[in-house]
Amino acid sequence: MSNCNNGNIPKTKISVAIDGPSGAGKSTVARLAAKKLGFLYVDTGAMYRALTLEALKNGVDLYDEQRMTKLAQKSKITLDPDENNFLRVFVNGEDVTDKIRQPEVSRSVSYTARLPKVREYMVSQQRLMAKHGRIVMEGRDIGTVVLPNAEVKVFLTASQPTRARRRQRQLANENVYVNLEQLNQEIATRDYLDSSRITAPLVPAQDAKVIDSSSLSVEQVVELIVKKVKLYGKQSFR
């Protein structure tokens, strides 16, 4: 008996965790891998961004953990995929997809993401989304904290200049123009803040496959991930 459908996509409850620093290509790769697998795609960074935007809008101090946690609890953040798995992000029904990519949010989001109680709440929401498996979730702490039992874990990275160039291209596609030097600086700062924070720092899970995408195409990385999922599906029913 086979546990796979015709496309060899496993039917078992599989979760894929993709972590890594900003600009490593996680979003593109996770979106396309999920599409190929027919899995749900969740961009957890978008959730932290949406909350940051809401805080800036309401004048909530990003250092005030209690108010930020309350704001997280009362803000309904939803991710709605289109037919190509691009996510539209809503906060309390308002479409904030473009706004959460603005430089002001990018500069501020690490402060939101440092707050342990905010993370606790976000993690609980993310676990609910992953309850039924068949999900590709990307972020910084998915393989280590959110889904430590994920069947497939990938830590996707790339050199810093590569990441800055990619980010510049991605932002230009969204009509946001930022010079490379500024991006390099912002990425270095964000890497530092994300890796040095006490709660859920950015580190590869011990059982994650580390992939350096500097000299790989998007398709190559997607293929590697899809292969790992199919392999897991085969092994789990032997």
Query: Please, which residue, 143 or 233, has the CB nearer to ligand DC?
Result: 143
Query: Please, which residue, 22 or 69, has the CB nearer to ligand DC?
Result: 22
Query: Please, which residue, 4 or 171, has the CB nearer to ligand DC?
Result: 171
Smallest separation, CB 113 to ligand DC (Å): 3
Distance CA 107, CA 116 (A): 19
Query: Please, which residue, 14 or 89, has the CB nearer to ligand DC?
Result: 89
User: What is the binding site for ligand DC (CB under 6 A)?
Assistant: 22, 44-45, 48-49, 109-110, 113, 139-141, 190, 194
* 113 to 60, 85, 172, 198: CA distances (angstroms): 14, 25, 25, 11
Greatest CA separation found in the chain? Answer: 58
Smallest separation, CB 101 to ligand DC (Å): 8
Those residues with Cβ within 8 angstroms of residue 170's Cβ, 6 or more apart along the chain or in another chain: none
Smallest separation, CB 139 to ligand DC (Å): 2
DSSP 198: S
Token pair 């392999």 is at which residue? 231
Smallest separation, CB 136 to ligand DC (Å): 13
Smallest separation, CB 194 to ligand DC (Å): 5
Distance CA 235, CA 104 (A): 46
Query: Please, which residue, 10 or 21, has the CB nearer to ligand DC?
Result: 21
Three-state DSSP class for 61?
Answer: coil
Smallest separation, CB 129 to ligand DC (Å): 12
Query: Please, which residue, 51 or 233, has the CB nearer to ligand DC?
Result: 51
Alpha carbon of residue 237 to chain centroid: 29
Alpha carbon of residue 116 to chain centroid: 18
Cβ–Cβ under 8 Å, residues 16 and 150: yes
**Smallest Cα–Cα separation from 151: which of 237, 23, 36, 78?**
237
